[in-house]
Amino acid sequence: MNVRILLPGMVMACLCLAATGVAQDQGKKDDDIREVLRTMNDRIDKLERMHQEDQGKIKELESRLKQVEGGPAHKVPQAQVDALKEQVKQEVTAELAEPPKRSVYDLTSGAEGSGNLLNPQITAFLDLGASVSSRGRNKALNRFNLREVELDLRAAISPSVDGALVLSLGEEIESQRNGDVTISRSVDVEESYLDFHTLPYNLALKIGKFRNAFGRNNQLHTHDLPQVTRPLAIQAFFGPEGVSTVGASLSWLVPNPWDKYLEATVQVINADGGADSPILGGPNADNPAVVAHVKYFDDLTETSSLEIGGSYLYTHTSSRSRFDANVFGLDVAYQWDDPDPGKFRSLLLQGEAYWSDNDVERGWFGPQRNHTFGTYAFAQYQFDQNWYVGLRGDYTGYPNSQTRRPSDQDVAVSPYVTWYLTEFLRTRLQYEHRWIDTTRGAGDEDAVFLQFTGVIGSHPPHPYWVRH
């Protein structure tokens, strides 16, 4: 075969194929452009029809005005005519600007909510840390750690219902009784719920998985805490991250003769608080568990407020139905802001106390009824726009734990300082001195914690302890 003839033929074939591909791509792009143009034309036609309808309404109203103005002067004074003109203009403006009226219980999507439906508020939180402990054998503290990465998505599903989805990637470091450390990393659904926030009679209903309304600290996500660590009592009673379960929550703004903010919440939830929950009995425990919370809030002055809350939890502590628990809680918070906003000074005093009466399985010795107390309190002062200093004190027993006995007690004092580099970046330094009293004896521990928290995406609301 003649190579001189074959090569030009192959070249021409390749060029033809390339031209065909280019033509196909160009044809596809043209189809896309035509589709966009058709959509734009349809929207323009719709807007023109709406404009014509509005012009017809305006002409009808102008005709009514002329009839009024043309009446006998002694029957319709000029001042009344001018007032009627202004009233009609306001009605026209309001009618043209007001969106179509829909029931607050309508769960269907509409044009006014389509933007939020397609573009939910998305926020990512990066919570990083490091720690150093005086007890070199405490391998759970002497390390860098990825505290939590959290993805928060929120949107209005309808005018009366909001949706929330919070996913977290966490690193859990646990120290066993023999000093060994276990590290686990997992993806978890921290919260996923529907919030019906405009029910009649001042009611609101939340369905799904959510942080339970026991006190104040338990309702905060890790990145929103006022200190690096959760109080020891929270960890001893509810687990390292607090308690968050699946169920339904009904809240009621209670009318009262004093015209004060009074909210009552009842939550019916699953008793499976997970392996990290010392009190909730796990997936085999009898359901349901019940959480109740009452909150009273009052503005003491123009720059100070007081909040008092009471909590109650009933649950089964194991798969044995006769094992149960009653946990009571009290929380108090006082906030003060400087009357001069330009000084950026504020004070927060907060404390919580817990008491549990619960059954614990003690192996060959059978069940045991525990009575355990825990508490914490802290004071935090803001001395500059981006700077906070505080001091927290902790005391707790252990109602039920695989690694600690009910007779064990922990006491800690933790000063800390928080600095906001920007609204999206925060760092915190915390020192903790801890007295650990166990059945094997007492001991002290000094630890230093460093935390960096960054926000990516939509800026979330500030937690209650932040005053910017």
User: Which DSSP string corresponds to 145-157?
Assistant: EEEEEEEEEEEEE
Q: Which H helix or E strand runs over 410?
A: strand 409-422
* pLDDT beyond 70 at 387: yes
Say what the pLDDT of residue 60 is.
67
Alpha-carbon distances, residue 197 vs 31, 156, 163, 194, 286 (angstroms): 45, 11, 11, 9, 30
Mean pLDDT, all residues of the chain: 81
User: Do residues 249 and 205 make contact, with C-beta atoms less than 8 angstroms apart?
Assistant: yes
Q: What is the pLDDT of residue 23?
A: 47
> Is 25 inside a domain boundary?
no
Distance, in Å, from the CA atom of 369 to the CA atom of 195, rounded to the nearest integer, reads 38
- Determine the length of the chain: 468
- Our CA dihedral for 397, 399, 403, 404, rounded to 10 degrees, sits at 30
* In-domain check, residue 53: no
pTM > 0.75: no
In this predicted model, what pLDDT tens digit does every residue of 128-170 receive, in sequence order? 999 998 876 667 788 888 889 999 999 999 889 999 999 998 8
- Per the domain annotation, does 361 fall within a domain? yes
Give residue 31's pLDDT.
62
Residue 24 has pLDDT above 60, yes or no: no
In a domain? residue 32: no
User: In this model, does residue 425 exceed pLDDT 60?
Assistant: yes
Residue of 409 and 140 predicted with greater confidence: 409
- What percent of the chain clears pLDDT 90, i.e. is strictly above it? 49
CA distances in angstroms from 265 to 216, 260, 288, 294, 312, listed in the order given = 13, 16, 16, 6, 11
In angstroms, how far is the first alpha carbon of the chain from the final one? 84
Domain hosting residue 388, numbered range: 122-457
Residue 116 has pLDDT above 80, yes or no: no
Higher pLDDT, 108 or 265: 265
Asked whether residue 20 is domain-assigned, the answer is no
Examine residue 77 and state whether it is found in any structural domain, yes or no.
no
pLDDT tens, position by position, 439-461: 676 788 999 999 999 999 988 88
Whether the pLDDT of residue 201 is over 90: the answer is: yes
Residue 394 has pLDDT above 90, yes or no: yes
Neighbours of 250 (CB within 10 A): 16
pLDDT of 393 above 60? yes
Rounded Cα distance, 175 and 446, in Å: 16
Asked whether residue 33 carries a pLDDT value surpassing 80, the answer given is no
Residue type, 195: D
Give the tokens for residue 56.
């017809």
Average pLDDT over residues 331-347: 94
pLDDT at 179 exceeding the cut of 90: no
CB 242 within 8 A of CB 363: no
pLDDT-derived band at 27, boundaries 50, 70, 90: low
In whole angstroms, give the CA distance from residue 171 to residue 182: 10
Tokens of residue 426, six digits: 């925060």
Contacts of 258 (CB under 8 A, 6+ apart): none
When pLDDT is averaged across residues 307-312 and rounded to a whole number, the result is 98
pLDDT band at 110 (very low <50, low <70, confident <90, very high): very low
Tokens of 161: 């219902």
112 located within any domain: no
Question: In the predicted model, is pLDDT for residue 90 greater than 70?
Answer: no
What is the C-alpha to C-alpha distance for residues 327 and 354, in angstroms, rounded to an integer? 7
Q: How confident is the model at residue 102 (pLDDT cuts 50, 70, 90)?
A: very low
CA distance 297 to 281: 33
319 close to 285: Cβ distance less than 8 angstroms: yes
Pairwise CA distance, residues 298 & 264, whole Å: 15
State the residue for tokens 């996913």. Answer: 167
Residue 44, Cβ neighbours under 10 Å: how many? 10
What is the C-alpha radius of gyration for the chain, rounded to an integer number of angstroms?
A: 32
Could you tell me if residue 135 is inside a domain? yes
Reply yes or no on whether the pLDDT at 332 is more than 80. Answer: yes
Q: What is the pLDDT of residue 73?
A: 44
Cα–Cα distances (Å) from 314 to 249, 279, 287, in that order, read 15, 10, 10
Provide mean pLDDT across the span 22-39.
59
Inform me whether the pLDDT recorded for 432 exceeds 70: yes
- Say if residue 376 is exposed, middle or buried (CB neighbours under 10 Å; 0-12, 13-18, 19+): buried
Task: Give residue 345's pLDDT band: very low, low, confident or very high (50, 70, 90).
Answer: very high
Give the range among 106-115, 248-257, 356-365, 423-432 with minimum mean pLDDT. 106-115
pLDDT in tens, 204-255: 999 999 999 999 999 999 999 999 999 999 999 998 888 999 999 999 999 9
Matching residue, tokens 């169920």: 247
Residue with tokens 């005093």: 349
Kindly state the average pLDDT of the residues 290-301: 96
Q: Are 281 and 319 in contact (CB under 8 A)?
A: yes
pLDDT of residue 402: 65
Q: What's the confidence (pLDDT) of residue 84?
A: 65
Quickly count: other Cβ atoms within 10 Å of residue 382's Cβ: 23
State percent of the chain over pLDDT 70. 71
Tell me how far CA of residue 224 lies from CA of 24, 106, 203, 421, 431, in angstroms.
54, 34, 27, 16, 19
> How many whole angstroms separate alpha carbon 37 and alpha carbon 46?
14
Number of domains the chain is built from = 1
Residue 22: per-residue pLDDT: 44
Which range has the worst mean pLDDT, 14-23, 123-132, 159-168?
14-23
| CATH number of the domain where residue 282 is located | 2.40.160.10
The answer to whether 164 and 115 are in contact (CB under 8 A) is no
Give the integer Cα–Cα distance in Å for 308 and 299: 12
Residue 41 above 80 pLDDT?
A: no
At residue 201, φ and ψ (nearest 5 deg) are 60, 35
User: String of b and e for 67-78 (b: at least 16 CB within 10 Å)?
Assistant: eeeeeeeeeeee
Q: What is the pLDDT of residue 395?
A: 97
| pLDDT bucket at 187, cuts 50 / 70 / 90 | confident
Confidence band for 339, pLDDT divided at 50, 70 and 90: very high
- Report the DSSP beta bridge partners of residue 163: 155, 194
What does the block give as tokens for 26?
């160009």
